[in-house]
Structure 1
C-alpha cells in the first residue's frame, strides 16, 4: 500500500505527471491546513502549493545519482524560503511541504498523502484545543502619572477588583521628566469590565493618558 510506483526502470512521463499532480494537490491541502485560524499572504500559500512539486521534480531528476543528490540537498540548505521573519508554524508547514515533495519524488504517493493528512489533522487539533486561552485575558497596561504621585501601591485596589494579577514591568519618565509612564502586565478577570477598570484608573492618575492592549508576542522564528 505504501510502496513506491517508481521501479528500477525509472519514471515514465505518465508517472512524472502523476507525481507532479499529486504533489500540487497535497501542497494545496497543506496550504488549507496552514490557513486554519491563521492569517497568511497569498505568496506564502502559493509557495506551500508549489514547493512539493518543485522538490519532487528535482528529486526525480537526480534519482539514482548519489553525488548529485547530495549536491542538491546542499543547495536546498542555502535557500531561504522567506524574506520576512516567519513563525514556527510557517516553518513547520514549509518542512512538511518539502517532506511531501521528497516522498512523491521517490514515488511514495500514498505515504505522502497519509503523512499530509495525519500531520494536518494533528495541527488543526492543536490549534482548536483550548491551549493558551488564558493569554486572551492578558493585557499590557500603560498608565501615565504626574511626577509627584507615589506609584508604589496606588493602583493595587483597582487591580485587585478587576484582575487576577498585576505586575509592574517598566517605569520611565516622559515629557522632559514631568511625568512617569508605568507599564503593567495584568490578567483580567472579565473582559467586559476593562472599560470600567480604565475609568477607575483615570480618577487616580489625573485623567492622563492610559492605554491597554494585547501583550505583543515574540516572533517564534527558527
Structure 2
C-alpha cells in the first residue's frame, strides 16, 4: 500500500510555517503603506456625494487584516478551512452601491493577500500599476460624457391642450431630449402636475427654459432641479 500520498496530504493539512517577527512586521507595514496609497487615491479621485470616512479606513484595515490572515494560514490546509468557516459566520450588511468602491476594496484585499503570502514584489508592482491606472482614468477624458440633466416640474390647467403644445415647443428649443416621468392631479383636480426628465442642450439654457415656461399664462410653479449622473433620484 502506497502511503506516500496520504502522508503528503496530512503534511499539507497540518503544516505550519514559522515566520520571524521581522517578516511579520515587514509584511504588515508594507500592507499598511500600499493600502494607504490606494485609500489616498480613492479620496482624491472621489466624485460622488456620499463620501464615507469609514470606507477609507476600511481599505487600510481590510488589507492589513487580510495580510495577517494569510500569514496565519501559511501552507496549512486545515487552517485555511478553519478561517473560511469563521468568515462564513460574519454577515456583511453594508451595501456598496458604487462598483468603483468595490474595486478599491478588492484592490486593498489583493494587496493584503500578496503581502501576507510574502510576494512583496507582486504587491509593490501591483500597487504602482493600479495607482497609475486609477490616476489615468480619473484625469483622462476616457468614458466622460457631458450631460446636463435635470428634473423639471410644473403645473398646467387640466383641459388646456394649447399649454401642453406650448410646453413641447419650449422643450424642443432648450432640450436635446426629454421624457415625461409622471403626471398627477393637483389642487383638487383643477391642475395637472407634470414631471419631466430633461437633458439641456447647454447648461446656460436652464435659465431660458424656466423663463419661457413662466412666461406662459397657463403654466405655474415651474421647478427645475439640476442633477449629476452620479446621483440616483
Bin the TM-score by the shorter chain: 0.7 to 0.9
Q: Does structure 2 conserve the Cα–Cα contact (< 8 Å) formed by 1:141 and 1:211?
A: yes
* C-alpha distance in 2 between matches for 1:188 and 1:121: 35
Matched ranges for 1:38-187 at <5 A: 38=46, 40-76=51-87, 79=90, 83-130=94-141, 131-135=143-147, 137-150=148-161, 152-187=164-199
Question: Which residue of 202, 214, 221 corresponds with 1:208?
Answer: 221
Q: Alignment partner of 1:186: what SS?
A: strand
Partner of 1:4: none
Matched, 1:191 2:203: yes
Q: Does structure 2 conserve the Cα–Cα contact (< 8 Å) formed by 1:202 and 1:210?
A: no
Query: For structure 1, which runs of at least 5 residues remain unmatched after alignment?
Result: 1-7
Alpha-carbon RMSD across the aligned residues, in angstroms, is 2.4
Q: Alignment partner of 1:207: what SS?
A: strand
Change in CA separation of 1:146 and 1:160 when aligned onto 2, cut-off 3 Å? same
Matched, 1:15 2:23: yes
Change in CA separation of 1:79 and 1:213 when aligned onto 2, cut-off 3 Å? farther
| Greater gyration radius | 2
Deviation at 1:198, TM superposition (A): 0.5
Query: TM-score normalized by structure 1?
Result: 0.83
Change in CA separation of 1:80 and 1:132 when aligned onto 2, cut-off 3 Å? farther
* C-alpha distance in 1 between matches for 2:124 and 2:205: 48
**Which structure ranks higher in relative contact order (CA pairs < 8 Å, sequence separation ≥ 6)?**
1
Change in CA separation of 1:149 and 1:79 when aligned onto 2, cut-off 3 Å? farther
Change in CA separation of 1:89 and 1:48 when aligned onto 2, cut-off 3 Å? same
Q: Alignment partner of 1:187: what SS?
A: strand
Question: Which residue of 21, 24, 31 corresponds with 2:32?
Answer: 24
Q: Alignment partner of 2:184: what SS?
A: strand
Deviation at 1:101, TM superposition (A): 0.8
What is the aligned residue count? 211
Partner of 2:42: 34
Q: Does structure 2 conserve the Cα–Cα contact (< 8 Å) formed by 1:104 and 1:112?
A: yes
Q: Report the more deviating stretch, 96-105 or 77-86.
A: 77-86
* C-alpha distance in 2 between matches for 1:206 and 1:19: 67
Q: Alignment partner of 1:176: what SS?
A: coil
Q: What are the Cα deviations for residues 65-98 of structure 1, in whole angstroms up to 9, with x where unaligned?
A: 1122133235445545563543111111111111
